[in-house]
Amino acid sequence: MEKTVRGTTARVDDKVALVTGAASGMGRTNCIRLAEAGADVIALDQTSAAEALAETASLVADAGGRCITATCDVVDVEGMAAAVDAAVVQAGRLDIVVANAGIYPAAGFSWELTDAEWQRPLDINVTGVWATVKATLPHLESGASIVIISSTNGLKGGARVAHYAAGKHAVVGLARTLANEVGPRGIRVNTVHPGSVATPMILNDAVFAKLRPDLEHPTQNDAAEALAKRNLLPVPWVQPEDVSNAVLFLASEMSRYVTGTQLVVDAGLLQKV
Ligand X SMILES: NC(=O)c1ccc[n+]([C@@H]2O[C@H](COP(=O)([O-])OP(=O)(O)OC[C@H]3O[C@@H](n4cnc5c(N)ncnc54)[C@H](O)[C@@H]3O)[C@@H](O)[C@H]2O)c1
- List, by residue number, the catalytic residues: 164
| 165 lines the binding site for ligand X (CB under 6 A) | no
- Pick from 270, 259, 267: nearest CA to 158: 270
- C-alpha angle with apex 31: 258 to 178, nearest 5 degrees? 35
In the list 27, 65, 105, 236, the residue contacting ligand X (rule: CB under 6 A) is 27
By CB under 6 A, the residues from 232 to 261 that bind ligand X are: none
Q: Which is nearer to ligand X, 11 or 208 (CB)?
A: 208
What Cα–Cα distance (Å) separates residue 250 from each residue in 124, 150, 223?
Answer: 23, 14, 31
What Cα–Cα distance (Å) separates residue 136 from each residue in 62, 180, 217?
Answer: 26, 17, 44
| 56 lines the binding site for ligand X (CB under 6 A) | no
Q: Which is nearer to ligand X, 93 or 156 (CB)?
A: 156
Query: Nearest to ligand X by Cβ — which residue?
Result: 25
Give me the least distance between CB of 215 and ligand X, in Å please.
20
Q: Which is nearer to ligand X, 170 or 201 (CB)?
A: 201
Interaction pattern, residues 101-140, with ligand X; x per rule: CB under 6 A: xxxx-------------------x---x------------
| 231 lines the binding site for ligand X (CB under 6 A) | no
Give me the least distance between CB of 224 and ligand X, in Å please.
13
One-letter amino acid of 101: A
| 202 lines the binding site for ligand X (CB under 6 A) | yes
Instruction: Report helix, strand or coil for 104.
Output: coil
One-letter amino acid of 120: R
Query: Rounded to whole angstroms, how far apart are CA atoms 260 and 139?
Result: 20
Choose the stretch contacting ligand X; rule: CB under 6 A; options: 86-94, 193-201, 213-221, 224-232. Answer: 193-201
Q: Which is nearer to ligand X, 196 or 231 (CB)?
A: 196
- The interaxial angle of helices 50-62 and 25-36, nearest 10 deg, is 20
DSSP character string of 195-263: -SBSSTTTSSHHHHHHH-TTSSS--HHHHHHHHHTT-SSS-S-B-HHHHHHHHHHHHSGGGTT--S-EE
Q: Which is nearer to ligand X, 11 or 161 (CB)?
A: 161
| 207 lines the binding site for ligand X (CB under 6 A) | no
Query: Rounded to whole angstroms, how far apart are CA atoms 192 and 118?
Result: 23
Q: Which is nearer to ligand X, 48 or 186 (CB)?
A: 48
Choose the stretch contacting ligand X; rule: CB under 6 A; options: 89-97, 98-106, 133-141, 212-220. Answer: 98-106
- Pick from 76, 85, 103, 79: nearest CA to 42: 85
Q: What residues line the site for ligand X (CB under 6 A)?
A: 20-21, 23-27, 45-46, 49, 73-75, 100-104, 124, 128, 149, 151, 194, 196-197, 199-202
